[in-house]
A and B are shown apart, each in its own frame.
Chain A
Amino acid sequence: MRIRIIKWLLVVFGIILSINVAWASNLPRENQRIISIEGSQYLLEEEVPVETDLIKGNGDLIIVELNASRLTLYQNGVKIKSYPVASGKPTTPSPVGEWHVIDKGVHWGSGFGERWMGLNVPWGRYGIHGTNDPSSIGRRASHGCIRMFNRDVCELYKMVEIGMAVHIVGDFSAVTLRREYQRKSTGQDLQLVQLRLREKGFDAGDLDGRFGRQMEETVLEMQRFYGLPLNGKIGLSEQYLLGLR
């Protein structure tokens, strides 16, 4: 009798476990294939084209300070509100750089809380969203996204428009440079190149790890200024001159 009960309990437990596993496997996770409630589909490392109307924005700005675990909204240069956030763990850091909001959604799943605001990061699917783990706020706890309390993200969601600039401020990860960068190159190492160009007085646009038309024009400008061959690429010579090697 006892053995029968145990067997039945095991079976029931197994069924419940299977259901949970099946349900959990359908949950959207950070940086994986996602289908938003509006029906848009996103794949890992999808590249949002640089030349798109989505990223124009209206001059308002969100600044996320990773070291302080704070997100601050500015409108017309005026600080509107600041919120505590959670950012990426050291093994899955949040993407430092200058991004734009490219999509918004509601109820993406409990892991994402009440709201989602996606960013145009070329090497993964990152965004600002709510959470079902409020104790993680204020710590480095996520897979790279910026987590907020649900009440905060709902409030912010109303004030954010597609295209709004989001600057994530922190330490850049160590990267290995490639021998050459050209139009359509993407990557975190490219951000270092963009930063160095900016420091030298050549504005290549956002620090977004994308080699778009603006960056190509900036590189040509730099090459013209220093008398280098005009090819619009960042090769070894340019990297030496910029102090990257």
Chain B
Amino acid sequence: MLKNQKRLLHAILIAIFLLVSFCFLRELLWPKVKVGEHLVPINPNAELKEGQIYRLRFWDYDLPLQLADKSYHDYITGLIEKFTKANPQIKVEVSFLNLADGSARLKEALRKGEQPDLYCSAFERPEFDYRYQVPIGPYLTELEQQSYLLAARELASVSGIQCMLPRWIGVGLWLGNSKLLAQLGLSVNKIQAQGWNWEELQQASQKLTKQQFLLGGNLGQPGILKELTASVAGTVGCATNEKPSDLARAFLEELLKEKKSLALEDPNLLGNFFEGKVALVGGMRPIFYRLIKERLTERKADWQLVWLPVPSRYAERNAMIAETSMIAVYRTRPILDEQVTAAMKLAKYLGAAPEIKVWQKLMVIPAHQRPLTAWLKDQQRLGNDCAWMLKWLQGTPIWHESCFD
């Protein structure tokens, strides 16, 4: 009896030892990628098992956009249906988040370990989550990587590893009152063709009357301050370092010291702008500008709304990514790498979706070559606004020519 008990105990101990060894070896040998200071496990070679059904949870935002014949909600639902028809092993449950609290809900879900398999951000790059997020870069072939705008890929990267799939980018722009700008001695045609610098802006501000304002909008960070900082750094993207930001801050303070500005929080900003008393509006997202244009058209103003690049410190052509949308993939089941493979498949499908009307409505640029090519071909219908923006961007580092080979 005692002998049998001893044997049983030995068997249990051996089993525990084997299990621990297996887990330890798995942890040791499993492929990982270093993201910052962290080692994140990945398995790009995992393949979907035949006959197995993979259920994915996908979170997107319910953007209040009406396309020609459907809403954004219907567009995404239709896209998912097409994907699941082409991939019958993968079932997708879509949830639409509210813009007001979507990112907070994601943070809470990550905190509790209830994250979705895929998350599509709106207007921002989500923070990389070292516990659950899976970097996308190792799951992309070189050709797939090259299909995305270089600047967008860089923005989606952490420590040189592409961690997310960029969906679109929004470029920093300013709005101008053509009549008032002409009064201030600024040539819109010249600015749109060649750009302008801080000195020109400073000189123009001297010619304002007491009732007129030079600049309105989001004056802080993010906003005009970020845009001016990026123009000093001469780099594309949202990164700033101290010196350029100090320079930008000092310039902005000097420029606006005689209270020639109206902050976004000021209730009188838009009223004064529509009355033609504000020369420039900046630091806002393109969709805001589109709305301003619609309202101005209704009011039949006697001046024209013009789009301008952000003034540059050194009179160089520059552009910065003011906002973006990224697709993030999360590990939801600890050892099921095929689940991640299925999620990556869906992420790539969504990133390369050919529909362009959504991005046209938002006045943003699709990050993948496929919709971008369609967007470029369609520029005739986009009108002067986007055609000008395109021309401007083609001279800047955002527009990496390799995308169009």
Contacts and interface: CB of A to CB of B under 8 A. Distances in A.
Interface of A: 179-180, 200-202, 217, 220-230, 235-237, 240-241, 243, 245
B47 to A, nearest CB: 40
Contacts of A241: 270, 288, 291-292, 295
B125 to A, nearest CB: 16
A209 B65 CA distance: 25
B291 A217 contact: no
B374 to A, nearest CB: 24
B99 interface: yes
A197 to B, nearest CB: 10
Q: How large is the interface on B (under 10, 10 to 19, 20 to 34, 35 or more residues)?
A: 20 to 34
Nearest to B65: A201
Interface in B19-69: 63-66
Given A221-B99, A221-B100, A237 B267 contact: yes
A224 B104 CA distance: 13
B284 interface: yes
Of B65, B268, B270, which is in contact with the most chain A CB atoms at under 10 Å from its CB? Answer: B270
Contacts of A240: 270-271, 274, 295
A227 B267 contact: no
Given A230-B100, A240-B271, A241-B270, 9 more contacts: A217-B98, A225-B63, A225-B99, A225-B287, A226-B287, A227-B218, A227-B288, A236-B267, A237-B267
A226 B274 contact: no
B269 interface: yes
Contacts of A222: 64
B66 A201 contact: yes
B264 interface: yes
A230 B292 CA distance: 19
Given A201-B66, A245-B271, A237 B287 contact: no
Interface in B215-234: 218
B298 interface: yes
Given A201-B64, A221-B98, A226 B291 contact: yes
